[in-house]
Amino acid sequence: MRAQLIDGKAVAAKLRMAVAAEVSDLVKRGVKPGLAVVLVGEDVASQVYVRSKVKQTVDVGMASLEHRLPADTSEATLLALIERLNHDSEVDGILVQLPLPEQIDDNRVLRAIDPSKDVDGFHPINVGQLATGTGGIVPCTPLGSLLLLKSVCNNLAGLDAVIVGRSNIVGKPMAQLLLGESCTVTVGHSRSRDLPAICRRADILVAAVGRPEIIRGAWIKPDAIVIDVGINRIPTAAGKPRLVGDVAFAEASEVASAITPVPGGVGPMTIACLLRNTVEAARRRRGLA
Ligand code: GUN
User: Rounded to whole angstroms, how far apart are CA atoms 78 and 83?
Assistant: 9
What is the percentage of the chain residues whose pLDDT exceeds 90?
A: 98
Distance 138 CA to ligand 1 centre (A): 13
Distance 67 CA to ligand 1 centre (A): 16
Stated as kind and residue range, the H or E segment containing 37 is strand 34-40
Name which residue sits closest to atom 4 of ligand 1, judged by CA.
98
**Residue 158: CA count within 13 A, CB half-sphere:** 1
- Supply the pLDDT for residue 15: 98
- Of the candidates 150, 149, 141, 91, the one whose C-alpha atom is nearest the C-alpha of residue 120 is 141
Question: Do the Cβ atoms of 21 and 62 come closer than 8 Å?
Answer: no
- Supply the pLDDT for residue 178: 98
- Supply the pLDDT for residue 1: 83
Name which residue sits closest to atom 9 of ligand 1, judged by CA.
97
- The atom number, within ligand 1, closest to the CA of 98 reads 10
Q: Which residues contact 21 (CB under 8 A, 6 or more apart)?
A: none
pLDDT-derived band at 136, boundaries 50, 70, 90: very high
Question: Do the Cβ atoms of 212 and 232 come closer than 8 Å?
Answer: yes
- The atom number, within ligand 1, closest to the CA of 120 reads 7
pLDDT tens readout for residues 245-263: 999 999 999 999 999 999 9
Distance 237 CA to ligand 1 centre (A): 30
Q: Which residues line ligand 1 (CB under 6 A)?
A: 95-98, 120, 140-141, 169
- The atom number, within ligand 1, closest to the CA of 140 reads 6
Ordered structural domains, the chain, with CATH: 30-114 (3.40.50.10860), 140-267 (3.40.50.720)
pLDDT-derived band at 77, boundaries 50, 70, 90: very high
Whole-angstrom Cα Rg for the chain: 19
What is the percentage of the chain residues whose pLDDT exceeds 70?
A: 100
- The residue-averaged pLDDT of 57-75 equals 98
Distance 120 CA to ligand 1 centre (A): 8
- Supply the pLDDT for residue 94: 98
- The atom number, within ligand 1, closest to the CA of 95 reads 9
**In sequence order, what DSSP letters do the residues of 180-217 get, joined into one string?**
HTT-EEEEE-TT-S-HHHHHHT-SEEEE-S--TT-B-G
Q: Among 127, 169, 273, 277, which residue has the most ligand 1 atoms within 8 Å of its CB, making it the best to mutate?
A: 169
Distance 50 CA to ligand 1 centre (A): 10
pLDDT-derived band at 229, boundaries 50, 70, 90: very high
- The residue-averaged pLDDT of 18-35 equals 98
- The residue-averaged pLDDT of 170-186 equals 98
Fill in the DSSP letter of residue 250.
H
Orientation of helix 8-28 relative to helix 140-152, angle to 10°: 110
Active site residues: 53, 97, 120
Stated as kind and residue range, the H or E segment containing 85 is helix 75-87
pLDDT-derived band at 289, boundaries 50, 70, 90: confident
- The residue-averaged pLDDT of 61-84 equals 98
